[in-house]
Structure 1
Amino acid sequence: MKITYLLLTVLLFQANAETLAQRLTIKKASTSLRSIFTEINNQTGYSVIYSVKHIERMPAVSVSLADVPLERAMEQILTGLPLDFTIANKEIVIKEKRRPRVSSPSSIKETALEVIQQTVTGRVIDEQGNPLQGAAVRIKGTSQQASTDADGRFSFTNVDPSAIIVVSFVGYESKELPASVNLAAIALSPDVSDLDEVIVVGYGTVKKSDVTGSVVSLKASDLTPGANVNVQQLMQGRAAGVQISQKSGEPGSAMSVKIRGVSSISAGNEPLYVIDGMPVNDAPPVSGSGAAFVANPNQRNPLNSLNPADIESIEILKDASATAIYGARGANGVVLISTKKGASGALKVNYGANYGFQEVANSVRVLSGSEYHDVLNAIIDDGGGSASERVDDNYEADTDWQNLLFQRAQTQTHDLSFSGGANNNRFFVSLGYFGQEGVVQTSSVDRYTARINYDNTVSGKYGFGINLTTSYIKDRINSFGTGINEQSGALYSAIYYDPTSPIYAPDGSYYRSTFMTMDNPAALRDGQNANSDSYRTFGTIYGEYFVLPGLSIKAKLGGDVNNSQRNVFVAPFTTQGLPGGVASILTGTRNYYMAEGTVNFNKTIGDRHAINGVGGVTYERFGSYSFTGNGRGYALPDLGYDAIGSGEQALNVIGSGRAGTILASYLARVNYTLDNKYLITASFRADGSSRFGPNNRFGYFPSAALAWKAHEEDFLSDYSFINELKLRASYGSIGNQSIANFLYIPTFSIGGDAVFGDTRYTTINPSRNPNPDLKWEAAIQTDIGIDFAFFKNRIRGSVEYYNRKTTDLLLSLPQPLSSGFGNRTQNIGSMRNTGVDVQLSVGVLQGDGFNWGIDGNISFLKNKVVDLGPLNRIIQGGAGFINNASIIMPGRSISSYYGYEVLGVWQEGDDFSTTTDNVKPGDLKYRDVNGDGTITDVDRMILGKPLPDFTYGMANTFSYKNLSLMVYLEGSKGGSILNSMLVDSYFPISFRRNKVAEPYLNRWTPSNPTNEYPSFVNPTSQGQRQVNSRTVETADYLRLQSARLSYNLPVKVAFFNSLNVYVVGQNLFTITKYSGVDPAVNSIGGDVLKIDFAAYPFTRSYLMGINLEF
C-alpha cells in the first residue's frame, strides 16, 4: 500500500509540474518587453496578451532571472512600469494600471463615460486549449459582431458592461457570457450528436453511428450520481436485455447480472467485466470451510474495489459481433468500464459528498407473542402438535426478535478528484471513502479507494500511460451462522425464535428455550463475529508507437493483486461455540497478470472507402492461494482468533490450497465502410485455456456483422425528420470457460487405513474420474436490430431480436457403481435464449427553461432447454428443509420450480372417497395429476420459473432552469420465487418455532372454512410437500428505485466553477404480491434458481449531498 501511494504522489506531481510550477530563466539587457514576452512564451507555453500601442510606449528593460517562479518573475519584469498582469488558463494578460483621478465634475463624467464605453477583448478556444479561428462573436441585441483571428482573438469597443456576448462556431455548442466577466479563454464544447458520439468497444473505440453490433452505452451524466455504491447499481434498469438484481440488502453483497438470460446450467452466467481494457476476475477473494467458518451465502461484490465516482462510461456488449473478440469469456456478455481521464487545461478539483441513513424496507411478518400464544394453543387444542409444547398463559415476554436486530443505519461517501494537464499529457487522480452501517446490527462495510490515470504523448510519435487503482475494504458479516437451518445465524433465528421468550435469563445470561434447538438471536448477534480485510490493487501500464498516420503499435501490461483475511470467532455462550469457543482464520491471495500486444490501423481510401481494425495477442495468468486455520476449546476464549493455536490440539484443523490457470489468445477485428452507408465488421479470436485437456485446449470464435445506414440514402433525403435509420444484423460464436480447473486430470484423496501383515498403511483413493475430451461450451448467436432517431433526435432508440443457442453444456452425470465414481463431467445438451430488446428515449418537452425527457427500456425473454443428451430430466436444487426444488427438462425454462399444485382446502362435506390419503377437513387439497387417488412424486408439476418473461425500466427527468428531478422506475413480470419461510410454516408446529403470521391468523377452522389456508393441525398428513403452489410465489414487482432532486447554484454566487446540491431517495416503494422481504432477493438460489432463505432485508435509503468543482 505504501508503495502504491508513493507512486500516486510522484505521478501527480509530475503531471502537475507544467501547469502549476512554471519557472523562468532570462538574462537580457536593454531589451524590449515584446522580446521578453516572446521568451516567456517559448519557455512556458503560456500566451502573453497585451495591447501593442501600450507596450511600444514602454522603455527597454534589463532582466536577470534564474529559475524564478512565473508569478514572481512577472512582478520583477514589470517593476517600475505602469503595467499590471493576471495569469489564468495558460494566459498572461498585460494591462495598464489605473491612475488616480481628481473627483471634479468633469473627471466624474470621464470616468462614467469610460465605464459605459469599455473595450471588450477575448479569445475563443476548444476544450484542449487550441484557438478556434473564424468563430462568430456578437453582442446580443445589437448589430455588433466579429470573427476570431488565427489565434482565436476578438475585440469590441464601446460595450455596455451589462451586455451579453454570444459565441458560436460550427460543430460546437454556443455560449452566452456577460461582457463583465473574464473572457480571456472562452472554451467551447463540441456539439456532439448521439450519432457522432464515440463509444468503447473491445480493444478500441468507434463512432456510435458506425456500430454494427448490439451495444448499450451509459455515460456518467446518464447515471444517478452520489446514490450508488457499486458498478452494478449504476447499470440497474438502464439497458434493455440486462437483468440486474440485488441478492440481499447486506452491505457489500454481490449483485446478479444476467445479459439476455442464462447460457449455462453448471458453468458461470455472469458477464465479463473489463476495466480500462483489462479483464477483471469476478471470483470472490476468499472462500473456505471448516467448523468455525461463519458461512455467508451472499458473496461479496468483486467490483466493490472500484469507486463509482471514478467511472466515465459503461458499455454493455450483448451480441456475438460485439463480444466474440473476447472469445471464451464472451458467452454471457461483456461490460466495458472506462474510468475518467484528465483534459488539457487548468487544474480542476472536484469534491462530492453525501450523508444519509437506511432503514429496513420490509421484514418478515411473523406472529407476535400474544398471537403466538393464541394460535399455537388453539392448534394444540384442535389435535395438532404436542400438549407439552403449549404456551404458558403467563408467558414471560413479547419479544420482536427482528426488531431487536434491526437499526437505522448511517451511510456516507466522500470523493475528491484532481484533473488537468498540458497539450501532451493528461492526469486524473481521485481519493474516495464509502462507509455504510448495515440495518442488521454488527454488519458494516468501509471502503477506501485511490486512483490515478495518466497519459502522455511524446513528440507525436510515442505515447505511454498508466491506469491504477488501489483499495482497502473492511467489513463485518455477522448475520449468518455456521451452517443451515438451526445453525443459519441471527437473521434466521430472529424469524423463528419463540416470541414469548425473554432476551436474558434471570442470571443475566442469554435466555435459552428448552423447546428450541437454535440459539437466542441476541446471543448469535453478539456471539458470532466475522471480520474481513481486503487489500486490492489493479491496473495497467501501456506504451504506444505511432508508426505512420493511421498505424500504431501498442503494448500493455496489467495486474490485479488481492490479499484478504477473514477472522471469525464464535463465543462459547452459543451452541456452535461450545466448548470454549471456536476460532477460524482464512487468508487468501488472488493474483492476475496480463501481457497484451496489439496493432491498430485506420485508413481512408478516396471518398468512398474506410477501413480500420485491430490485431493482437494476449497472455493471461491467474493464481490463488488460501490457508485456513480452525481451533476449538479455549481456556481463555477472549483471545479468540488472536491465539488460534491455543485451543485443544486434538480439535484444531488446518488446511490450504493453491490453483492457477493460463489463457493465451490471438484476436483480430476489421471494420469496413463504403460511402458512409454500408458497414461490415468481422472478428475472430482463438483462446487456449489450461482449464481444458490437450484434446480440446483451443477454442475458435468468429463473428460477422452488417449494417446499412438507410438515412444516408438519397431516396430518404426529403424526409428531414429522420436523423438516423440503421438496420443491422450479426452472427457469431462465443464461448464459456467458467468451469472448475483441470477436470481432465484425475485427483486423489486420503482414504482410511489398511493393515498388511503387522503394518498399518494410509491409503490414497481416486476421487475424480477425469475427462480429457471436455471442450468449451459454445453459444451461437444471431442478432437483428434497427436503430432510429427522429425529429432532431427527440425520439431515438433501438429494437433488437436475438436468438442464442448454447451447445455442449457441461454437466456432471452419474456413473455406474462399478466405475468406483459417483459422477463425471461431460459435454451434453443445449439450451436456447430468444428475445426482443427495446430501448427508447423521448424528449417530451423542450423549451422556455423547462425540459422533460423519458428514457425507457423493456426486454422480453424466453429460455428453453433444448436437450440433455442421455437424460430426460434433472431434478435438483434446494436449501435448508427444501430438497429437489427445481427441474431441468427439454422444452422448459431452466430450473423451473417443480412441486405440487394446491387446489384449495378440504372442506366438511367434500367427497373423501376420491382419495386414499389420510386427509381431513382443513388439510390442503393437492391436484392428483395421474388420477390414482393418492398424492405421490409423480403428481409433481411445473409451478413457475425463476427467469421473468420481461423486465423494464423507465427514467423520467424534469428540469427547470437550475432545478432538476429524476424519477426512476423498474420492474419485472412473469418470474417466480421460492419462499422458504412459508415452507417452514407449512410444517407441523413443533419445537416452539414461530411462523409466518398471515396463514396462521387466517387458518381454516370449522367457523372459518377458508379455501386459502389449511388448519395446520396436521399439515404433513400427505407427506412433506415442501415445494407447492403456495410456497412458490410470484416475483412480479414495480419499484420506485430512486428519486433525485438537485439544484445547480449559479456560479456567480460563489467562487466555484459549479456547485450542485441534491437529495436522493432509493427503494422508496415496491408494488408486489410477494409475501417475503423482496421479490428480487435471491439469498442462496444461485445463478439459475431464486430462493428467499431468511434473506438480509433490503433497505430504503435517504441521502443528501453536494458536488463542487473549483
Structure 2
Amino acid sequence: MLDEYRNGTDPFIYPNTNWFDVMYRNAPIQEHNLRLSGGGEKTTFSLSFGYLNQDGVLIATDAKKYTLNSNVQSDLNSWLKIGANLAGTFWNDRESAYTADEGNGEGGIMGLLYRGLPMQVPYAQDGSYADQWVRVPGHNFFRNPLALSYEGFRRNHRYRTLANVFAEVKLPLNLTYKITAAANIFFGREKYAYPQISLTNPKTGVVTPMGNIPARGVKQIATEGVNLTNFHTLNFTRQFGDHSVNALAGFSMERFDDSDFDAYNQGYLGNELNELDAGSTAPAVGGTSSQSRLQSYFGRINYSFRDKYIFEANVRYDGSSRFANGKRWGLFPSFSGAWRLNRENFLAEASWIDNLKLRASWGQLGNQNIPLYSYVNAISLGNNYSFNNNVVPGTAIIQLADPSISWEKTTMTNIGVDFDILQGKLAFQLDLFDKTTSEILRQVNVPAQVGNLTGPFRNIGKVSNKGIEVSLAYQDAIGDFRYRVGGNLAYLKNEVLDVKGNIYYDGVTIIRKGDPISAFYGLQSAGIFQNEAEIEQHAFQAANTRPGDIRYVDQNQDGIVDNNDRIVIGNSIPKYTYGFTLSGSYKNVDLDLFFQGVADVDTYANGNLAFPYRNGAGVTNEWLTDSWTPENPGARLPILTTSSGYPQNFLTSDFWIKDASYLRLKNIQLAYSLPGAWLERLHIRRFKVFVNAQNYLTFTDFKLGDPERNLTRANMIDYPNYKSITAGVNLTL
C-alpha cells in the first residue's frame, strides 16, 4: 500500500491534505456605529446604533450583532435630577451543530480538525463529500469536518436588554440621596439541526452514511434570565477650609432568576426538515430553573487636606444565597492613603518635579463564584435500580457537597510611588504588592472507590501572590513631531501557603503547600537511552524499555521509577508580565503600537498532534525528522511510537513541558485626520480615517497553537486567536 500511495497520481485517492488550510479562511468583518446627541441647559440625551457583520475564520461560521443605546438626563429643578438608560443587544450567529454539541468527547469540529490526516480528502471526484478508503486506528469512521460544517447547523439567537432609571435628590445639610433601579433581561434560543450525511469512497465510488455522529434530529433550547437590581445611596460632601470630606452610605439588593427549556426529536425524512414537530420518533423534553440573591451594605469616606494628604476608607458587608445559612455573610474593609510630597514646603523650589506621591493601601474583597446550591448534595433522577427482581425508577446522589463553604477572601496590600518630572515628559510608577487569597473555593476530586461521585466545592486553603510592578513613560515633541514611549513590567511570585494538610491532584497539576498553585507535576527526564548498557545501569522503568526511550530520574533512589518520583516540573502562572507602547504623530498623521507579553511560564500539551498518532491523529513534521533512530542518536525526540500502544515515553514529565512565553503585537493603528481648515469648509467637526491591525505579530517558541491560551488545558482544541486588519472612518458633525 505504501508503494501504491507513493506512486499514485489521482489527488482524490492519494491526497496530501492540509486540513487547517481546508477549514480556516480569511474572514471579512464590517462594523458601523452611529451616535446622536443633543439637549439643552437642563436636559441632555444621546442615541446610538451599532451593526456588526462578521464571518468566522472557521468555515461556515458567521455572526451578526445589532445594538441600540439611549440615555436621557434631566434636571427637573434645583433639587431633583432624573435619568434613564436603555441598552439593547441582539446576536444572531451560526455554526455547525457539531461545533458546539458533538456529544462524543472529540471536541467537535475543532477536535476533528486536529485529528485530520493528509490521506483524507474533503471532496470526492464528483463533488460529493468524500469518505476515506484507508482505515487506520482511531479512524474506523471518517467524520468529514468539511461536510459536518456545511450540513446541518447550530443557530443561536440572543437578546439582552439593560434598563436603568435613577432619581437624585439634593437634601439639606449637603446630603444627596440617589435611588437606582435596573433590570438586565436575557432571552436566548438555540437550535441544532443534526443532519444525515452520505460520503463517497473516492477509490471505489461506494456511498455510505457517515458514522459515529448524532442521529438525524432537531434540538431546540430556550433560555431566559432576569437580573433585578436596586441601589440606594446617601452622599455627604463638605469643604471645611483646607479640609475636604466626602462620605457615602448605601445598600443594594440583587435578584437573579434563570430558566431553560429544551426539546429534542428524531425521525426526520430529510435534512431540510428542521422543525421539532416534523420528527416522529424519540421526542424528549427537559428544563430547569434557578434563583439566587445578593444583598450588600456598603460605606465610603474620603478625606483630603489641601489635596496633599489623602485618605479613603471603605467597607462592604455582603450576603449571598450561594452559601448555606450561617455562612452567607462576609465583611470586606479597605483603606488607602496618599501623600503628595511635591506640595510640601521642603520641595517648593524643586520646580522640575511635577508630581511626587507616595501611596499605600490595604483591602479585602470577597468571591462567591461557585455554582448554585453547592452546599447541598446534588441528586439525579433516572438512576434506576433492581428491586425484587424488577428494575424500578430511582434517584441517587451524584455530587457531594460541603455545607460549611463560605466566601473566598482576597487581602491586598500595596505600596507605591508616582514620580513625574520635566513638565510631565517623564513619568515613573513603582508598586510593591502582596495579594493573599484565603479560603480558596475549588472543586476537589474524591476517590472513585467511594462511588465515582463528583467532588464538592470546598474552601481549600491560602495562596500568596507577591511582586513588584514598574512602569516608565517618556513623551516629548521635536517640531511638529510628537512621540511617546512607555512600558511596564511586573514580577509575580505565586505560592500555596496552606491547604489544611491536604494535597490536591487534578490531571497533570498539583496544589500543595510550598508550590505555585496548579503547578505541573510529573517525572523529571534526563535525556534518551542510547543503548542497552545505559538501560541496565539505570533504575527500572518498564520491562520493555529500549534504546530511544526517555530516561527518567529516580528521585528517591529506590531503584524503580514510579509515581513516587514525581516532582514539580513546570509553572502555569507567568512570573513576568510586560507590555510597552510606541506612539508618534506628525501634523495630522498618528501611529500607535501596543505590545504585550509574558515570560517564565509553562504549559503541558498531550492532546492530538502534541503526541504522535494520539487518538488517531497524525504527527507533526518534527517527529519525522528529529525522532531517535540508531542512525540519528542525537535526536531531540524519543523513538517514534504511538502514545497509546507504547505509553512509557508519554508519561507526564518535564520532557513534554513547553515554554509558553510570548511577545505579541496586540494592536497597531495608523490614522490621518483632515486639517481643521478643510473641516470648517465642510462644516465637519472631525474626520479621521484609520487602518488597524490586531494580534498581527507573535514571537514565541510554542509552536503547537496559540500561547495565549488556558495553560493548564492539556489538549490543543482551542478556537484560534485570530489576526484582524480593519480600515475605518470616524466622522463627527
TM-score, scaled relative to structure 2: 0.90
Q: After the TM superposition, which residues 814-829 of structure 1 pair with which residues of structure 2 at under 5 Å, given as runs?
A: 823-829=455-461
The change in CA–CA distance for 1:477 and 1:943 in structure 2 (over 3 A counts) is farther
Q: 1:648 aligns with which of 281, 291, 298?
A: 281
1:782 has 2:413 as partner: yes
Partner of 2:28: 410
Q: 1:430 aligns with which of 48, 67, 82?
A: 48
1:1081 has 2:706 as partner: no
Partner of 1:1006: 630
Residues 799-840 of structure 1 deviation map (CA, whole Å, 9 limit, x = unaligned): 111112111223445679789976444333111111222233
Aligned 8 A contact 1:856 1:952 in 2: yes
Counterpart-to-counterpart distance in 2, 1:1094 and 1:413: 29
Q: Which runs of 5+ in 1 are unaligned?
A: 1-372, 378-389, 877-883
Q: 2:188 aligns with which of 532, 556, 564?
A: 564
Residues 324-356 of structure 1 deviation map (CA, whole Å, 9 limit, x = unaligned): xxxxxxxxxxxxxxxxxxxxxxxxxxxxxxxxx
1:1102 has 2:730 as partner: no
Aligned 8 A contact 1:1076 1:1092 in 2: no
1:737 has 2:365 as partner: no
Matching residue's letter, 1:504:
Y
The change in CA–CA distance for 1:427 and 1:886 in structure 2 (over 3 A counts) is same
Partner of 1:841: 473
1:948 has 2:574 as partner: yes
Partner of 1:169: none
- 1:908 deviates by 3.9
- 1:985 deviates by 2.7
1:511 has 2:139 as partner: no
1:538 has 2:162 as partner: yes
- 1:461 deviates by 1.3
What secondary structure sits across from 2:326 in the alignment? helix
The change in CA–CA distance for 1:796 and 1:451 in structure 2 (over 3 A counts) is same
Q: Relative to structure 2, which stretch is displaced further, 889-898 or 823-832? A: 823-832
Partner of 1:927: 553
1:632 has 2:632 as partner: no
Q: 1:457 aligns with which of 75, 84, 102?
A: 75
Residues 178-209 of structure 1 deviation map (CA, whole Å, 9 limit, x = unaligned): xxxxxxxxxxxxxxxxxxxxxxxxxxxxxxxx
Counterpart-to-counterpart distance in 1, 2:698 and 2:159: 37
Paired-residue identity, %: 26
Counterpart-to-counterpart distance in 2, 1:771 and 1:909: 53
What secondary structure sits across from 1:624 in the alignment? strand
Partner of 1:210: none
1:1028 has 2:662 as partner: no
Partner of 1:88: none
Counterpart-to-counterpart distance in 2, 1:758 and 1:976: 55
Counterpart-to-counterpart distance in 2, 1:490 and 1:892: 37
Partner of 1:598: 233
Partner of 2:593: 967
What secondary structure sits across from 2:71 in the alignment? strand
Counterpart-to-counterpart distance in 2, 1:746 and 1:1017: 45
Partner of 2:247: 613
Matching residue's letter, 1:489:
G
Matching residue's letter, 2:56:
G
What secondary structure sits across from 2:485 in the alignment? strand
- 1:746 deviates by 4.4
Q: 1:667 aligns with which of 281, 289, 298?
A: 298
Aligned 8 A contact 1:588 1:627 in 2: yes
What secondary structure sits across from 1:724 in the alignment? strand
1:1042 has 2:677 as partner: no
Counterpart-to-counterpart distance in 1, 2:642 and 2:670: 54
Q: 1:691 aligns with which of 297, 306, 322?
A: 322
Matching residue's letter, 2:663:
L
Q: 1:1052 aligns with which of 671, 674, 677?
A: 677
Residues 623-670 of structure 1 deviation map (CA, whole Å, 9 limit, x = unaligned): 110112233342333213x22661422xx3322111111111111000
- 1:721 deviates by 1.1
- 1:483 deviates by 4.8
1:587 has 2:217 as partner: no
The change in CA–CA distance for 1:645 and 1:859 in structure 2 (over 3 A counts) is farther
1:501 has 2:120 as partner: yes
The change in CA–CA distance for 1:929 and 1:583 in structure 2 (over 3 A counts) is farther
Matching residue's letter, 1:1031:
W
Residues 53-93 of structure 1 deviation map (CA, whole Å, 9 limit, x = unaligned): xxxxxxxxxxxxxxxxxxxxxxxxxxxxxxxxxxxxxxxxx
Counterpart-to-counterpart distance in 2, 1:820 and 1:438: 40
Q: Which runs of 5+ in 2 are unaligned?
A: 198-209
Counterpart-to-counterpart distance in 1, 2:713 and 2:385: 45
Q: Relative to structure 2, which stretch is displaced further, 901-910 or 851-860? A: 901-910
1:994 has 2:618 as partner: yes
Q: Relative to structure 2, which stretch is displaced further, 629-638 or 554-563? A: 629-638
Partner of 1:491: 110
Q: After the TM superposition, which residues 1059-1074 of structure 1 pair with which residues of structure 2 at under 5 Å, given as runs?
A: 1059-1074=687-702
Counterpart-to-counterpart distance in 2, 1:1075 and 1:754: 50
Counterpart-to-counterpart distance in 2, 1:921 and 1:806: 47
What secondary structure sits across from 1:493 in the alignment? helix
Matching residue's letter, 1:776:
W
- 1:730 deviates by 1.4
Aligned 8 A contact 1:982 1:1031 in 2: no
Counterpart-to-counterpart distance in 2, 1:758 and 1:1098: 56
The change in CA–CA distance for 1:722 and 1:938 in structure 2 (over 3 A counts) is same
Counterpart-to-counterpart distance in 1, 2:701 and 2:152: 34
- 1:914 deviates by 2.2
Q: After the TM superposition, which residues 462-481 of structure 1 pair with which residues of structure 2 at under 5 Å, given as runs?
A: 462-478=80-96, 480=99
Partner of 2:15: 397
Partner of 2:514: 891
Q: Relative to structure 2, which stretch is displaced further, 438-447 or 1005-1014? A: 1005-1014
- 1:722 deviates by 1.1
What secondary structure sits across from 2:650 in the alignment? coil
- 1:944 deviates by 1.4
Counterpart-to-counterpart distance in 2, 1:1097 and 1:462: 51
TM-score, scaled relative to structure 1: 0.60
Counterpart-to-counterpart distance in 2, 1:1038 and 1:926: 32
Partner of 2:352: 721
Counterpart-to-counterpart distance in 2, 1:546 and 1:458: 12
The change in CA–CA distance for 1:801 and 1:1002 in structure 2 (over 3 A counts) is same
Partner of 2:337: 706
Q: Say which structure is richer in helix.
A: 1
Matching residue's letter, 1:889:
R
Q: 2:501 aligns with which of 870, 879, 891?
A: 870
What secondary structure sits across from 2:111 in the alignment? helix
- 1:1064 deviates by 1.4
- 1:505 deviates by 4.3
The change in CA–CA distance for 1:451 and 1:575 in structure 2 (over 3 A counts) is same
Residues 264-283 of structure 1 deviation map (CA, whole Å, 9 limit, x = unaligned): xxxxxxxxxxxxxxxxxxxx
- 1:506 deviates by 5.8
- 1:1024 deviates by 6.1
- 1:1055 deviates by 2.8
- 1:563 deviates by 0.7
The change in CA–CA distance for 1:771 and 1:1038 in structure 2 (over 3 A counts) is closer
- 1:512 deviates by 3.4
Aligned 8 A contact 1:604 1:611 in 2: yes
Q: After the TM superposition, which residues 37-76 of structure 1 pair with which residues of structure 2 at under 5 Å, given as runs?
A: none
Partner of 1:805: 436
- 1:751 deviates by 5.1
- 1:471 deviates by 0.8
What secondary structure sits across from 1:1015 in the alignment? coil
Counterpart-to-counterpart distance in 1, 2:610 and 2:651: 8
Structure 1 vs Structure 2 CA RMSD:
2.7
Aligned 8 A contact 2:228 2:256 in 1: yes
Aligned 8 A contact 2:160 2:187 in 1: yes
